[in-house]
Amino acid sequence: MPLQALRSVAKSQNGVGAFILQCKRLDFHYCDWAGSSKGMKCAPLMNAFARQNPQIEITISPRPRKHPVIRGTYINGREKAVCVRNMEKEQVLEKANLLRDASGEKLRKVTKPVKSLNESVRGIWDPFHGSEWKI
């Protein structure tokens, strides 16, 4: 019986190899006494969020006499912190999702439709390239 080659063909993914979440850690800080942490101190909400995002390291610690804060740490080394004082639990969850989905980069206005780190296939333009002009 002749040996047959594998028939599978590599799928085209437009250059995308794998997705890595940029947020690696989220710190939840709250105050046990102050009322502004009311929305933050919702244990079931935190439990659900942690279970939905197992790839993120989550720490929950009190910060007495301060407003509640969610601090995100990203793989580019940057940090982002959002104050969630006086927010309801749904609003706090919204902010946690925002930090989870953020890239960690500074917020900039995007004006170009395409942005890539790859070099141009055509190479850098050179006046000596291309067809020769004969006079």
Partner 1 sequence: MRATRAAHQALGLAALPRSQQYVCRACRAQAGRQFHTSNRDLAEVPFFQRLKHQIFGSKESQQAEKSREEKNKQRLEELHKSSGSGSGLGELEVKTGRHGQQYEVAAIVDPSDTQDYVPAQGWDGLERVGSEEWVKARADQGEQYVGFVPKKRVELSNKQWQMLLHHIMVEILALQQAGRAPGQVCYPRNADMYTWRQTRKAAMKSAMNRAGATVSFSDLAAEQFVLQAIPESASTETVQDQQVLINEVEFAVADADEALGWKASSDLSAPSWMDISIKNPSVKMALIKRTLQLTGKRLPDPAVSLSTTLADLYNHLQLKEQPKKLAQTPQMQRIKLSAPNVKVFTNRQTPIHKEKEIGRWKIIEEELVRRDLPVTGSRWQGAKSGWQ
Q: Which stretches of the chain bind partner 1, using CB under 8 A?
A: 27, 30, 32, 41, 43-44, 46-47, 50-51, 53-64, 77, 79
Query: Which residues are CB-contacts of 94 (< 8 A; sequence separation ≥ 6)?
Result: none
CB of 84 to partner 1, least distance (A): 14
DSSP string, 52-120: H-TTSEEEEEE-TTS--EEEEEETTS-EEEEE-TT--HHHHHHHHHHHHH--SSPP----SS---SSPP
CB of 94 to partner 1, least distance (A): 20
CB of 108 to partner 1, least distance (A): 22
Please identify, using beta-carbon distances, which residue of 62 and 103 lies nearer to partner 1: 62
Please identify, using beta-carbon distances, which residue of 61 and 131 lies nearer to partner 1: 61
Please identify, using beta-carbon distances, which residue of 32 and 132 lies nearer to partner 1: 32
